[in-house]
Structure 1
Amino acid sequence: MITSTLQWVVASALVLPALGKIYNNPTELTKTTYDYIVVGAGAAGAVVAARLSEDKKISVLLVEAGISDQGIVPLTVPFLGPSLSPGTPFDWNFTTTNQAGYLNRTIPYPRGKILGGSTSINFMAYMHGSIGDFDRYASVTGDSGWNWNNMQKYIKKNEKLVPPADHHDTTGELIPSLHSTTGALSVSLSGSPSPLDARVIATTKELSNEFPFNPDGVGGNVLGIGYNFATIGNGTRCSSVTGYLTPAFGRSNLDIVLNAQATKLLVTGKVKGLPSFKSVLVTEKEGAPVRTLTAKNEMVLSAGVFGTAMLLQHSGIGDRDELRAAGVATVVHNPSVGKNMSDHALLANMWSVNNSNSFDAIFRNPNLFNADMNQWATNKTGPMTGTVANNIGWFRLPKTASIFKKTPDPAAGPKSSHYEMIFSNLWVDPIIPAPATGNFMSITTALISPTSRGSIKIMSSNAFAKPLLNPNFMTTDFDIFTMVEAVKAAKRFLAAKAWKGYVLGPAGDLKTANTDDEIATYVRGHAATVWHAAGTAMMSAKNANYGVVDPDLKVKGVDGLRIVDGSILPFVPNAHTQGPIYLIAERGADLIKQDCH
């Protein structure tokens, strides 16, 4: 989407100073046995490693396949988030299979391959999900510890609400009592106003029946339009590294190894008749020396929705037929591994606007870009302190929608959403590059309660081979119906008086998408992903005959192995997923500590 900063990305990727006890590759490690080994340093793994290492008696190793995030300027500048993937050194650079629901297109699927994982390269949107999300997790697992009320204590541990970069008066933009100011992760409202902000809010007043104002969507009540919170503090990105690992860098009981891809878990014996997986093979790259690392207590997988499922499969935990086809011997037959993937399909909708202050100019005019960067570097103010969206909204289809005559409502509850709208003061299409001229605004629509389910599976025993990644987007009537209705809702939103004289008309193929059939074709031809995949190692009730982990996040049918990341979510939440994953990690760390003591 934004290419003018790629030279910053590539050049600064070479700056890799080591901080604390960080090893640059597995051969540098001075020991190979720890009490706990955490694989993956993203939103979940960094939290688990930091929380476990708070106990000085426990030794922890955090294993990350990517490079260090230290000293790479674009990672720290909030507005440059869209330039960090795909096709950069910080991305796993996955690509999907041909997607039938997307007119057989393939799409790139960004995943952070760097210390901090996707929290180091994402768009930083922060919310917790709906009350119904967590209450449903508790219901399907039979564990009340996952319900909304119980998870409140982890919000307090995670969130640290701070003033926006411009220190504007936030009265009316949030409800302070719904937020924590004592957590590890800096969270703020935008410190850079957009020409859209006042118009968006004015529309919530004019069209309040369909697009009501939500005074604060972070507190579990997601429906309506409100202000977007982001993991930004003092105008700078706050990742799982800056929030959790930086305070832990000096701990003598925490080691971090970079450029260390986990390729296989090893069986180290049996406990109560179950295979015990307490060793892992890691290597810097294909063909490099391999080291065996061993956990005395537990191996914790936090490799992400794709990495965790793939590592399980490479280790012989998965569907026996799929493993056989890939040349991997089955240790535990579990057909649920790699299945049940759900995600928020994304569609960027653009309009031409009568506004010379759209942010499109920043990425066309080197002088303006440099001036904004200098302002950020000097005092952490200006456009570079914000994300691409200051306002966000979540909505339900009407109860009378025709789709409900043949499809049960898939939302987590009556106060959970079916689709989302994101408002941006520039062209943000991940599929089509921005035109060289013109000013634009975007309303990105996203499917929040999808009924399509996809999968990921390995195709060979080579851990460096690309997987078969099939999100299976837009393959149900409900998903297509909802995305069509979301586009129609965005058009109705811009028909409000607030946009008169400002919006000139739709841009791109949206111009010819008017009937339901035309909009459906437009959706299939342009939709992508918000990269919010979930569910490939889903949790289920302890006695369930499906699922990958029990409610305590221990892998079913094995010993010594636990999963703490977004792969365990049975349903993708009403949120951009980093927020819920941070909460999963906080509770996951507590569950591990309880067993340890």
Structure 2
Amino acid sequence: MHTLQGLLILTTFIAPGLCAVYQQLSDLRQDEFDFVIAGGGTAGAVLASRLSEVRGFQVLLIEAGPSNEGVLDAEVPLFASRLHNTIYDWNFTTTPQEFANGRIVPYARGHILGGSSSINAMAYTRGSIDDYDRWARVTGDSGWSWNKIFPYFKKHELFMQPTDGRNITGDFDPAVHGFDGMTRISLPNQLQRDFDARFIKAADELGGKFSYNLDMNSGKPLGSAWFPSTAGGGERRSSATSYLTRQIMKRKNLHVLLNTRATRIRQTSKSHSSKSHGPEFDTVETFGNGRGSRTFRATKEVILSAGTVGSPHILLHSGFGNAKELQSVGVKPLVNLPSVGKNLTDHPLLVVDFAADATEPNVLADPTILAEALEQWKTSRTGPLTNTVDNNVIWGRLPADSPFEDPSAGPNSPHWELLPAVNLGNAPEPHLSAFISLVSPASRGTISINSSDPLDSPVIDPAFFTAPVDVASARDGVRNIRTFYAAKAFEGYIKSESPPSAGAESDEELDAFISATFATTWHPTSTVKMSPKGADYGVVDPDLKVKGIQGLRVVDASVMPFVVSAHTQTAVYVIAERAADMIKRDWHERA
């Protein structure tokens, strides 16, 4: 994968008046910066942008993958899934999953500037009030509470009208959105008029748990709602396109190094230690495109933003973790943090299909329609390719009398998410899919290593469905989408449920279906979790500084103490926004 990458990337440019963008290690002459950010994904791009707002800061952003520039499948919203299993994906897989009878699950992660925000399905979902209040409670830092984090949602969001020009008054609550931020957000850019109308009628008809919710991003997501996305203006808005715009890239204090992998965080001869503060880790070791290794030193901080998989992988190879486990694979232990790589939490995913008399065109299955739609998108950023996979969503909870201990953050947090998709994929027959994501899972897995070579792949074990409540949530999700599609509003539209779920009624039959088909929603978190300052568990303090040392912070989805009951990219944006403010405050006070 990596050897082919060099043939496909854009050529190096260092244009007059623009920040330097380097395609390989040898192009970059400077070795020392104020901040070295390892990982140019969702959080890393935000940090590079915000920290370089301070003219006195010299900022280096290191990304393992290529540029996002000119990658059509990273621009067209409906083409998102085409980036999986390409050079823009790390192409990870899980260990054999016990609940799946040893099946291995593909585990896509973005290998491109913008990280997974450049290859995901662009869902803009925040989660619940309870999610963030739980973060504040378990970390002892009220700054992570919903009320304190809410301004960062508005700060990063630029809410836009859909590109079809329709009136969306009454379809969202403007009081909970931001209109001057960095990331363009929109409700669906083009309606699927027959299905969308039936969806709203079904929500009104059934009521109760399916009742219409004006705005699921208010912190109270439960119910049925329109599904917003980071496809504002009809094209993907990743952290790269939002926070590393051409104007931002003009900053002379911002440096972006592509196709270069951060492998370890190291101490150098300039580092020091003391009984009160511990050792300082100030150097990032890198490896670039088969051209050898090189180190970059941060005079202020190293910031690790390599993601839930990448950050613990780098930390473990740097000697952070359980001493015995590190020694067993030939890594010298340096910092005793047994929680590194533990607590992996992810949202498992199911798909239930229905045969339907869907009148909406199947864009991806008809080459003629697809060509016309692509031309429309190229000329006006309108049409069916401007949407993501879903226009609507239902968030729900297990019954109140469920015998299981509630794994969610509280009564505002859903256990499952139902996402209907009309004629999605290459199958020419009209059909309706329902994606079922378990958004408050109790199962916990690990990221580990099995060698001392940092270029070896991490060992990823999400341990899906090891908690019985997750299996119960999955069954409940299947039964609830069946209930919803049985509404009178869908008479004459949905014909029948399709295999392999068709006919699975009992718990045992549903469990067999779940075991044989589940995948991931690609929302891993919590492998470098934050905990209260001074706690003897966790990896980072609430200010995201690594415990027991100086000079190193972690800022990405890995620091979440619990996964949010939502798609995770929005939470990562606000984590990075708050982290940037904390870092600026720390260093302005010292200036």
- TM-score (ref. length: structure 2): 0.95
Following superposition, the deviation at residue 11 of structure 1 comes to: 13
Q: Which residue of 2 aligns with 1:289?
A: 292
Q: 1:358, 1:441 within 8 Å by CA — same for their partners in 2?
A: no
**1: CA distance between counterparts of 2:361 and 2:321?**
49
Matched, 1:409 2:411: no
Q: 1:97, 1:470 within 8 Å by CA — same for their partners in 2?
A: yes
Q: Which residue of 1 aligns with 2:458?
A: 467
Q: 2:345, 2:445 within 8 Å by CA — same for their partners in 1?
A: yes
Residue number among 249, 261, 280 corresponding to 2:284 in the alignment? 280
| Aligned pairs for 1:44-443 within 5 A | 44-85=43-84, 87-194=85-192, 195-246=194-245, 247-268=247-268, 269-273=271-275, 274-285=278-289, 287-359=290-362, 362-401=363-402, 403-404=403-404, 408-427=405-424, 435=427, 437-443=428-434
The Cα offsets for residues 120-151 of structure 1, whole Å up to 9 and x where unpaired, read as 11100012111111100000000001111111
**1: CA distance between counterparts of 2:100 and 2:213?**
32
Q: 2:139, 2:532 within 8 Å by CA — same for their partners in 1?
A: yes
**2: CA distance between counterparts of 1:231 and 1:335?**
36
Q: Flag the 1:299–1:10 CA change in 2: closer, same or farther, 3 A.
A: closer
Aligned-partner residue type, residue 222 of structure 2: L
**2: CA distance between counterparts of 1:574 and 1:372?**
34
Alignment identity in percent?
42
SS of 1:492's partner is helix
Following superposition, the deviation at residue 272 of structure 1 comes to: 2.7
Q: Flag the 1:75–1:17 CA change in 2: closer, same or farther, 3 A.
A: farther
Q: Flag the 1:17–1:78 CA change in 2: closer, same or farther, 3 A.
A: farther
Q: 2:162, 2:187 within 8 Å by CA — same for their partners in 1?
A: yes
SS of 2:315's partner is helix
Post-superposition, which runs of at least 4 consecutive aligned residues in structure 1 deviate over 4 A?
9-17
SS of 1:369's partner is helix
**2: CA distance between counterparts of 1:60 and 1:78?**
31
The Cα offsets for residues 54-84 of structure 1, whole Å up to 9 and x where unpaired, read as 0001100000000001111121111111111
Q: 1:27, 1:291 within 8 Å by CA — same for their partners in 2?
A: no
Q: Flag the 1:292–1:378 CA change in 2: closer, same or farther, 3 A.
A: same
Following superposition, the deviation at residue 427 of structure 1 comes to: 4.1
Aligned-partner residue type, residue 441 of structure 2: P
Aligned-partner residue type, residue 255 of structure 2: D
Following superposition, the deviation at residue 276 of structure 1 comes to: 1.0
Q: 2:159, 2:184 within 8 Å by CA — same for their partners in 1?
A: yes
Q: Which residue of 2 aligns with 1:431?
A: none
SS of 1:270's partner is coil
SS of 1:170's partner is coil
Q: 1:39, 1:300 within 8 Å by CA — same for their partners in 2?
A: yes
The Cα offsets for residues 156-187 of structure 1, whole Å up to 9 and x where unpaired, read as 21001011111111122111111000111100
SS of 2:369's partner is helix
Q: 1:35, 1:59 within 8 Å by CA — same for their partners in 2?
A: yes
Q: 1:15, 1:72 within 8 Å by CA — same for their partners in 2?
A: no
Q: 1:116, 1:240 within 8 Å by CA — same for their partners in 2?
A: yes
Residue number among 519, 531, 535 corresponding to 1:528 in the alignment? 519
Aligned-partner residue type, residue 506 of structure 1: E
- TM-score (ref. length: structure 1): 0.94
SS of 1:298's partner is strand
Q: 2:358, 2:432 within 8 Å by CA — same for their partners in 1?
A: no
Q: Flag the 1:196–1:279 CA change in 2: closer, same or farther, 3 A.
A: same
The Cα offsets for residues 184-238 of structure 1, whole Å up to 9 and x where unpaired, read as 1100011111132111111110110131111101121111110111111221111
Q: Flag the 1:593–1:463 CA change in 2: closer, same or farther, 3 A.
A: same
**2: CA distance between counterparts of 1:468 and 1:234?**
39
**1: CA distance between counterparts of 2:535 and 2:5?**
47
Matched, 1:485 2:476: yes
Following superposition, the deviation at residue 512 of structure 1 comes to: 2.8
Q: Flag the 1:93–1:168 CA change in 2: closer, same or farther, 3 A.
A: same
Following superposition, the deviation at residue 355 of structure 1 comes to: 2.0
Following superposition, the deviation at residue 270 of structure 1 comes to: 2.5
**1: CA distance between counterparts of 2:347 and 2:537?**
23
Q: Which residue of 1 aligns with 2:537?
A: 546
Aligned-partner residue type, residue 162 of structure 1: M
Q: Which residue of 2 aligns with 1:35?
A: 34
Q: Flag the 1:452–1:35 CA change in 2: closer, same or farther, 3 A.
A: same
The Cα offsets for residues 523-569 of structure 1, whole Å up to 9 and x where unpaired, read as 11111000001000000001211000000000012110000000000
The Cα offsets for residues 24-73 of structure 1, whole Å up to 9 and x where unpaired, read as 01111120100001111111011111100000011000000000011111
Q: 1:66, 1:113 within 8 Å by CA — same for their partners in 2?
A: yes
**2: CA distance between counterparts of 1:320 and 1:547?**
15
**2: CA distance between counterparts of 1:76 and 1:561?**
33
Q: 2:9, 2:67 within 8 Å by CA — same for their partners in 1?
A: no
Q: 2:557, 2:572 within 8 Å by CA — same for their partners in 1?
A: yes
SS of 1:276's partner is coil
SS of 1:592's partner is helix
SS of 1:312's partner is helix
Residue number among 585, 588, 595 corresponding to 2:579 in the alignment? 588
**1: CA distance between counterparts of 2:97 and 2:361?**
33
Q: Which residue of 2 aligns with 1:6?
A: none
Aligned-partner residue type, residue 213 of structure 2: N
Aligned-partner residue type, residue 370 of structure 1: A
**1: CA distance between counterparts of 2:172 and 2:232?**
17
**2: CA distance between counterparts of 1:13 and 1:224?**
44
Q: Flag the 1:17–1:125 CA change in 2: closer, same or farther, 3 A.
A: farther
Greater mean alpha carbon deviation, residues 564-573 or residues 244-253: 244-253
Aligned-partner residue type, residue 544 of structure 1: A
Q: 1:222, 1:574 within 8 Å by CA — same for their partners in 2?
A: no
Q: Which residue of 2 aligns with 1:3?
A: none
Following superposition, the deviation at residue 376 of structure 1 comes to: 0.5
Q: 1:16, 1:70 within 8 Å by CA — same for their partners in 2?
A: no
**2: CA distance between counterparts of 1:393 and 1:358?**
23
**2: CA distance between counterparts of 1:511 and 1:15?**
47
Q: Which runs of 5+ in 1 are unaligned?
A: 1-8, 429-433
Following superposition, the deviation at residue 378 of structure 1 comes to: 1.2
**2: CA distance between counterparts of 1:509 and 1:16?**
47
Q: Which runs of 5+ in 2 are unaligned?
A: none
Q: 2:38, 2:284 within 8 Å by CA — same for their partners in 1?
A: no
Aligned-partner residue type, residue 51 of structure 2: L
**2: CA distance between counterparts of 1:396 and 1:587?**
30
**1: CA distance between counterparts of 2:48 and 2:502?**
50
